[in-house]
């Protein structure tokens, strides 16, 4: 069981801020144009995945010795979906997506759905935030004063109960009309449980 950093082609404003988090993972996978970020970081990824519509051929040639999964341009799964599935097959216990937000709104929203598809397994990280999906009960390490938001996805989320937040929830429902933005952590651990639905948690670093 290992951890994997997937580096995609979305917006990254500061690679140096993300470098420690990326290198903390045991495997690094470049997803299509995310290979350019690997080059900037001087990282040799363990695997390259993509149809390479956003990765110049000369850049690929620089990494010709790296194992590669080449995809068709016309396909049902995105490059990132395929990379996630591949790493799960290889036994990844946690996958963190970098460069999975920004540039294209459609890709960004689709990547949120990937978090919901794989709760407790797939996270997304930017320079300022960590995002993940909650399924049933999650205990989150944090620090007092840290900002946390809870956003329902794919319909209503029922039976939400929290412990350790400034504005606690007890058996509440979140939907299009009620969601939780900018709550405050009061302890070093926060517990969030839900009975039904997909809940995205955004933790400000």
In terms of DSSP bridges, do strands 189-193 and 137-141 run parallel, antiparallel, or are they unpaired? antiparallel
- Asked if residue 197 and residue 123 are part of one domain, the reply reads no
Domain extent, residue 6, equals 2-127
C-alpha dist (Å) from residue 98 to 31, 127, 130, 139, 155: 10, 9, 10, 23, 26
Question: What's the number of domains the chain is made of?
Answer: 2
Considering the domain architecture, whether residues 28 and 52 belong to the same structural domain is answered as yes
pTM check: above 0.85: yes
Q: Which of 127, 155, 175 is the last residue of a domain?
A: 127
**Whole-angstrom distance, CA of residue 63 vs CA of residue 41:** 14
pLDDT tens by residue, the chain, 205 residues: 899 999 999 999 999 999 999 999 999 999 999 999 999 999 999 999 999 999 999 999 999 999 999 999 888 899 999 999 999 999 999 999 999 999 889 999 999 999 999 998 999 999 999 999 998 899 999 999 999 999 999 889 999 999 999 999 999 999 999 999 999 999 999 999 999 999 999 999 9
Let me know whether 14 and 102 are in one domain: yes
CATH code assigned at 195? 2.60.120.320
Q: If DSSP codes are grouped into helix, strand and coil, which group holds residue 152? A: strand
């Amino acid at each position: 069981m290992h951890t994997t950093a997937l580096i995609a082609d979305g917006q990254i404003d500061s690679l140096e801020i993300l470098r420690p988090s990326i290198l903390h993972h045991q495997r690094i996978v470049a997803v299509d144009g995310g290979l350019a970020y690997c080059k900037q970081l001087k990282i040799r990824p363990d695997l390259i995945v993509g149809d390479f519509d956003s990765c110049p051929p000369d850049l690929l040639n620089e990494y010709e010795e790296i194992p590669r999964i080449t995809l068709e341009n016309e396909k049902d799964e995105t490059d990132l979906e395929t990379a996630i599935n591949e790493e799960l097959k290889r036994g990844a216990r946690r996958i963190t997506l970098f460069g999975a937000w920004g540039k294209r709104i459609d890709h960004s929203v689709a990547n949120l759905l990937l978090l919901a598809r794989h709760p407790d397994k797939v996270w997304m990280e930017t320079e300022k935030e960590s995002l993940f999906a909650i399924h049933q009960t999650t205990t989150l390490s944090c620090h007092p004063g840290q900002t946390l938001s809870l956003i329902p996805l794919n319909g209503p989320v029922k039976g939400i109960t929290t412990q350790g937040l400034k504005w606690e929830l007890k058996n509440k429902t979140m939907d299009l009309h009620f969601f939780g933005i900018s709550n405050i952590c009061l302890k070093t651990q926060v517990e969030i449980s839900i009975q039904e639905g997909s809940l995205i948690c955004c933790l400000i670093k």
